[in-house]
Chain A
Amino acid sequence: MSFMQEEKRPGKKKIKTTRVVNGLDVEEEVWVDDLEAPLFKPREECRLLGTRMKRVDGPAKLTGAAEYTSDVRLEGMLYAKVLLCPFGRAKVKIDAAPALASKGCVHARQLVDETKYLGQPVAVVAAATPELAEDALRALVVEYEPLPWVLDRGQALAEGAPEVRSRGNLGRPTEDGDAGEVEAAFAQCAVVVEQEYSVPVQHHVCLETHGTVVDYRGGEDAIVYCSTQSTHGIVGDAAESLGLRKAQVRGIVQHMGGGFGSKFGLERAGTLACEISREQKRPVHLMWNREAEFLTSGNRTGAWQRVKAGANKDGRMLAMSSDVERYGGIGGGSHAGLPYLYSVEKSLRKHASVYMHLDTNCAMRAPGHPQASFAMESVVDELAAGLGMDAVEFRKRNLNSPAHLRQLDRVAELIGWNEHPNRTAPGSVDGFEAVGIGFGCSRWGVGGSPVCQVDVRVMNDGSVTAEVGSQDLGTGTRTYLAAIVAEELGRPLDGVQARLGDSRMGNANGSGGSTTTPSLAPAVQDAARQMRGVLSVAAAEHFGCAPEEVVLDPDGARAPGGKLTWLELCALLPPEGASVRGTWQSDLAVSGVACTQAARVRVDLLTGRVKVEKMVCLQECGRPLNRLALESQIRGAMTQALSYALLEERRVDPQLGIALSADLETYKIAGSLEIPEFVALVDDDDLREGVAGVGEPPVIPGAGAIANAVFNACGVRLRHLPLTPDKVLNAIEERKSS
């Protein structure tokens, strides 16, 4: 290193200090943390961040003390319930008088004259207890006049089909790419695959359903408890439904039982609860039941994907064309687009929505991505197989990011690919069972939003709070809110009280797109470092040294001039304590995280049952804050992907116009007996200083990896999720007879 060059260390600065050496004052330069620069401490200096921390709300959740929206009980509270239309579409006529006359019922009304989709709420009642509300629902006199509906693609696109939207049931396609160039590129290919891949509509299945409790008794103030992903986001809609101003409404979200993208706003349950509360001037409790959760709270878009792709003999993908139909019910659906993650020299794509009389799609954990990933990972695998090429090697030739290249090697090693016999050709359908391995990759944008305002306060009795009006969906927000502050101030984790889930606290964005952590954590760190500055200045005045020379650690504060316990240090603060507000710091948020997964499956060749035995995931996340929470997110995402691959599918009977899977008996999700051995790893080769959220990326590639593993096991390619035993067995029999 040239002596002319000034050394730079991120987050650090050099100061001159005087030290006594052998009785002599010696002036020297030392590196100290730059209190003005809100960076995290270097990883190796952290006591808490990057370790496996116990969640701070664990005891409340384990003992049943944690209060969820559905648990809020208020004096004089009414219970509201809705009636769902059992038909694809219908005209509705309801006589609410008998319900209103039933015991304890104070509110009953029709909501729509004509429904737009299967399961739409048509009436709402409110009564003194849940049972009386149920009796009131039953007392409604309802006449349905079924109207023609379209519940599947065939019905939607049939000539003369009833229109879901005024411009027809086939949305205007969007296209991009140059057909001529793609055609020419196909001509250069040594192998071309042309196939169709489909994914069903998937439900979120949050264990806590959607719902709201409104505490309004007339007057000027209301508190709205809501199972939502956006504490601040519900206030405006609630104020409007209550006829109040935004400043008069307080949103509270202490604990919530999962959202996965379906709970961004106040939602229908919330607006109904507010309307009834406004009319009755009484608190109202309205939680969806499980059926409503399935039929009218959003879902993941289904898709049909016709794909043609080609590669040259070296395994480079040269051409791809795709034609995608999105099935988002009355909504437009979402699809991330092909060739998704992979680099293909020339590609052409066309997307269109097909509208049906079904509940609209909404955001769900990486909206649009698992659909595209399933098709893309399948096509990639088919091309590799067509060339007789190792599936890992083929992927590496078509992925650009160095992260994916190194992850593929590591994941291949962890799943046992290098010792696996079927690396270049699949196994056979002979015998009782077959074992195979498959791969998938994903990438997610993350990136932070600059809106968070975090308040950290230290009182002169030593108590510390960190608060922000964000929310903890169960992912561990509360824990890192406390941990970042504790890390910076040298406190134990339980020495900082984290408060969130209250719209009276500092602003925060809704939790979506895995952006909570990269939006919030930088603002927390900013506040924490500011507070450290305040405490360091107080200590420095006491010791007569520079603030940077003060070290905060679990014992309190020390500096060249001496030591203070934490309580002594805080006693130096004025009676009202000290408070600071932190804001977002772009340096501390990363964008773009790579993920690679592998699955090993065992296929029962006699029944077609697929058992996933092992799943490996390597996930970038920038700087890990809490490994326990990160690994749990990754395992949970893999489980949802497994469930999507093998079990989940919304089903309706298009002829009868009824729902077939609106409960947990007919819509199965993975249980404890389905889960494989998991290897869930944070990618520690990602050395970026900023943080990222990982809610979405690990849910993306799993289904493709599992389907590829089934092919690898026994040579049958399943192109339509879920991989139910009947489809697998049919494919096995076809291969046997061919």
Chain B
Amino acid sequence: MTVALRPTSLSEALDALGANGAVAVAGCTDLMVVDHAPARAHATVVDLSRLPELRGVREDSGGLWIGAATTFAELRESKLVRERFPIVAEMAGTIGALQIQNRATVGGNIANASPAGDSLPVWMALDAEVEIAGRSGSRRVPYDEMHRAYRETALAPGELIVGLRLPAADEALEQRFRKVGTRAAQAISKVVVALAARVHGDELHGLRIAAGSVAPTPVRLRAAEALVEGQPLTPDLAAAAGLAAAREVTPIDDVRSTADYRRFVLARTVRRMLLACQGGEA
């Protein structure tokens, strides 16, 4: 029978995770799906959901620190999040339905590392940094380096995600998020895109666009970014950036959609989001 541990501190948790066959859990929304017998087959589950070190949303040198055990419902409800990073709250509202948002956590979504994880492109676009703890100490990983391959993260065995740091957002920071799913709720994305940039006149600076469900991992759309960065943003340029985005991704046909459709919609979504930064079509 599985041993379920509920450590009360980070160091206890790290000790527990060092054991053979130990697996970290929090909201359990991925672990318990369908046939929970495999869940019981893990030798040890280590519950991180109530570790004080992993909880809360607070100011952090002008930016925000978000604990890994924060649920998506808590993100939606956080005044700090809504004021500073409205796309984080918006994204949180598209995760599953309320029943899932009330359980699923920020850290769980990152560690599960589904290419369709809705939160991942948002952290990428906002240039987040992941705070990781292990028994030999803690380290910080830029979000861009977090997802290495299909369902493979930068986490080493025995490590866990403590939280995320989001750099300061000022008034000039434009943030956009769009999810295209099968159904309005409880739908895994066909395409999900997040964008952040600072607007200077008709130019976008520090542009970061990231997308999910279009490659084996969430990806930055660097070709699209490069086209637009610091240039006067015209409808033609936005369209060109959309096409560049579609060319630089590697989506697949699956049960939720086709590769062609994903490319097509990605191109349009990127174009629309860019134009929206200037108050254009939304």
Interface residues of B (CB under 8 A from A): 34-35, 37, 40, 180, 182-188, 190, 255-258, 260-261, 264-265, 268-269, 272, 281
Interface pair A607/B186, CB less than 8 Å apart: no
Chain A residues 642-691 with CB under 8 Å of chain B are 647, 651, 660-661, 663, 665-666, 668, 670-674
- B-contact 0/1 string along A38-49, CB 8 Å cutoff: 000000000000
Can you name 11 A-B residue pairings with CB atoms under 8 Å? A134-B37, A432-B281, A606-B272, A609-B180, A651-B255, A666-B256, A668-B187, A671-B184, A671-B186, A673-B183, A725-B265
Interface pair B257/A647, CB less than 8 Å apart = no
Do A661 and B255 contact each other (CB < 8 Å), given the known contacts A725-B190, A729-B264? yes
> CA separation between A561 and B272, bound complex, in Å?
83
A668 touching B184, Cβ below 8 Å: no
Contact A673 B37 (CB under 8 A): no
Task: Check: A163 CB closer than 8 A to any chain B CB.
Answer: no
Chain A residues whose C-beta falls within 8 Å of the C-beta of B256 in the assembled complex: 666
**Which residues of B are found within 8 Å of A661, using beta-carbon distances?**
255
Q: How far is the CB of B225 from chain A (nearest CB, A)?
A: 21
CA distance in complex: A672, B185 (Å): 9
Docked Cα-Cα span, A730 to B269, in Å, equals 16
The answer to whether A671 and B183 have CB atoms under 8 Å apart is yes
B186 to chain A, nearest CB (A): 7
Provide the residues of chain A in CB contact with B186, threshold 8 Å: 665, 668, 671
The smallest beta-carbon distance between A562 and chain B, in angstroms, is 62
**Contact (Cβ within 8 A) B182 A647:** yes
Query: Are A674 and B261 in contact (CB-based, < 8 A)?
Result: no
Question: Cβ of A726 < 8 Å from any Cβ of B?
Answer: yes
Q: How many residues of A contact B (CB 8 A)?
A: 29
Q: Which of B34, B187, B188, B265 contacts A729 (CB 8 A)?
A: B265
In the complex, which of the residues B34, B190, B268, B272 contacts A663, with contact meaning CB atoms closer than 8 Å? B34
Q: Which A618-658 residues have a C-beta within 8 angstroms of B?
A: 647, 651
**A607-B184 CB under 8 A given contacts A135-B37, A660-B255, A661-B255:** no
Indicate if A52 sits at the interface (CB-CB under 8 A): no
The answer for the CA separation of A671 and B186 in the assembled complex, in Å, is: 9
Q: Once the chains are docked, how many angstroms separate the CA of A134 from the CA of B34?
A: 12
The reply to whether the CB of A138 lies closer than 8 angstroms to some CB of chain B is: yes
Are B180 and A647 in contact (CB-based, < 8 A)? no
Return chain A residues, CB-CB under 8 Å to B264: 729, 733
Which B residues are CB-close (under 8 A) to A674? Answer: 183-184
Judged by DSSP, the binding face of B is loop
A138 to B82, CA, bound (A): 46
What residues on A are CB-neighbors of B268 within 8 Å?
606-607
**CB under 8 Å from chain B, chain A span 126-162:** 131, 134-135, 138
> Which residues from B are CB-within-8-Å of A668?
182-183, 186-187
Instruction: Looking at the assembled complex, report how far the CB atom of A105 sits from the nearest CB atom of chain B, in whole angstroms.
Output: 14
A672 cross-chain contacts in B, Cβ below 8 A: 185
Name B261's contact: one of A131, A606, A647, A726 (CB within 8 Å): A726
**Complex Cα distance A606/B40, Å?**
45
Knowing A665-B188, A668-B187 are in contact, say whether A607-B257 is a contact too (CB < 8 A).
Answer: no
CA A674 – CA B186 in complex, angstroms? 12
CA distance A136 to B188 in the complex (A): 33
* A666 interface neighbour in B184, B185, B255, Cβ under 8 Å: B255
Interface of A is mostly: loop
Once bound together, how far apart are the Cα atoms of A671 and B268, in whole Å?
A: 27
A290's nearest neighbour on chain B, judged by CB, is B34
CB neighbours of B187 from chain A (8 A): 668
Assembled-state Cα–Cα distance A609/B181 (Å): 10
Closest to A643 in B: B183
- Among B37, B185, B257, the residue within 8 A (CB) of A726 is B257
Q: Which of B180, B185, B188, B260 contacts A673 (CB 8 A)?
A: B185
**B-contact 0/1 string along A405-437, CB 8 Å cutoff:** 000000000000000000000000000100000
Chain B residues closer than 8 Å to A607, beta-carbon distance: 180, 265, 268-269
B261 (CB) vs chain A CBs: closest residue: A726
B31 to chain A, nearest CB (A): 15
CB neighbours (8 Å) of A663 from chain B are 34
Q: Which of A48-98 contact B (CB under 8 A)?
A: none
User: CA A349 – CA B43 in complex, angstroms?
Assistant: 63
Neighbouring A residues of B260 by C-beta, 8 Å: 726, 730
Residue of A nearest to B190 (CB): A725
Chain B residues whose C-beta falls within 8 Å of the C-beta of A670 in the assembled complex: 183
Question: Closest Cβ of chain B: how far from A202's Cβ, in Å?
Answer: 16
Point out the residues of chain B lying under 8 angstroms from A432, CB to CB. Answer: 281
B261 touches A729 (CB 8 A): yes
Query: A607-B265, A674-B184 provided; 14 other pairs, C-beta below 8 A?
Result: A131-B37, A606-B272, A608-B265, A647-B183, A666-B256, A673-B183, A673-B185, A724-B257, A725-B261, A726-B257, A726-B260, A729-B261, A729-B264, A733-B264
Taking a contact as CB atoms closer than 8 A, the residue among A134, A651, A666 that contacts B35 in the complex is A134
Closest chain A CB from B242 CB (angstroms):
11
In the complex formed, the residue of B with least CB distance to A134 is: B37
How many Å from the CB of B196 to the closest CB on chain A?
22
Find the A residue at minimum CB distance from B187. A668
Q: Collect the chain A residues with CB atoms within 8 Å of residue B269's CB.
A: 607
Which B residue's beta carbon lies closest to that of A137? B37
Q: Name the distance in Å between B210's Cβ and chain A's nearest Cβ.
A: 19
Which A residues are in CB contact (< 8 Å) with B188?
665
Q: Which residues of B contact A291 (CB under 8 A)?
A: 34
Given A134-B35, A135-B37, answer yes or no on A673-B265 (Cβ-Cβ < 8 Å): no
Say how far B136's CB is from chain A's closest CB, in angstroms: 37
Complex alpha-carbon distance, A674 and B97, angstroms: 14
Known: A668-B182, A671-B186, A725-B190. A138 touches B261 (CB 8 A): no
**Bound CA span A138–B268, Å:** 47
CB distance from B127 to the nearest CB of A (A): 28
Give A209 Cβ to nearest chain B Cβ, in Å. Answer: 14
Shortest 4 CB-CB contacts between residues of A and residues of B: A726-B261, A673-B184, A660-B255, A606-B268
CA distance A651 to B258 in the complex (A): 14
Residues on the A chain within 8 Å of B183, using CB? 647, 668, 670-671, 673-674
Report the separation of the CA atoms of residues A248 and B27 in the bound assembly, to the nearest whole angstrom: 50
Query: What's the Cα separation between A609 and B264 when bound, in Å?
Result: 13
Chain B contacts for A726, CB-based, 8 A = 257-258, 260-261
Rounded to whole angstroms, the CA-CA distance of A672 and B255 in the bound complex is 22
Nearest CB in chain A to that of B188: its residue: A665
Min Cβ gap B192→A in Å is 13
Q: Once bound together, how far apart are the Cα atoms of A135 and B1, in whole Å?
A: 11
Complexed CA–CA distance, A661 and B35 (Å): 16
Contacts of A606 in B (CB 8 A): 265, 268, 272
Task: Point out the residues of chain A lying under 8 angstroms from B255, CB to CB.
Answer: 651, 660-661, 666
Distance, CA A385 to CA B269, complexed state (A): 33
**Nearest Cβ in chain A — how far from B269, in angstroms?**
8
Closest to B268 in A: A606
Q: Which residue of B lies closest to A669 (CB)?
A: B183
Provided the pairs A134-B35, A725-B190 are in contact, do residues A671 and B185 lie with their beta carbons within 8 angstroms?
yes
Which residue of B37, B190, B257 is within 8 Å of A138 (Cβ)? Answer: B37
Among B35, B186, B255, the one with the most A-chain Cβ atoms within 10 Å of its Cβ is B255
B172 to chain A, nearest CB (A): 28
| Per-position binary interface string of chain A over residues 720-733, scored 1 when its CB falls under 8 Å from any chain B CB and 0 otherwise | 00001110011001
Q: Once the chains are docked, how many angstroms separate the CA of A651 from the CA of B268?
A: 28
**B35 contacts across to A, CB distance below 8 A:** 134
Residues in B with CB closer than 8 Å to A724 are 182, 257
**Which A697-714 residues have a C-beta within 8 angstroms of B?**
none
Provide the residues of chain A in CB contact with B190, threshold 8 Å: 725
Docked Cα-Cα span, A730 to B35, in Å, equals 38
Q: Chain B nearest CB: distance from A134 CB in Å?
A: 5
CB-contacts of A596-617 with B (<8 A): 606-609
CB distance from B89 to the nearest CB of A (A): 18
Q: Which residue of A lies closest to B260 (CB)?
A: A726
Docked complex Cα distance between A224 and B184 (Å): 41
Chain A residues 468 to 519 lying within 8 A of chain B, measured CB to CB, are none
Please, how many angstroms separate the alpha-carbon atoms of A724 and B257 in the complex?
Answer: 9
CA distance A730 to B264 in the complex (A): 10
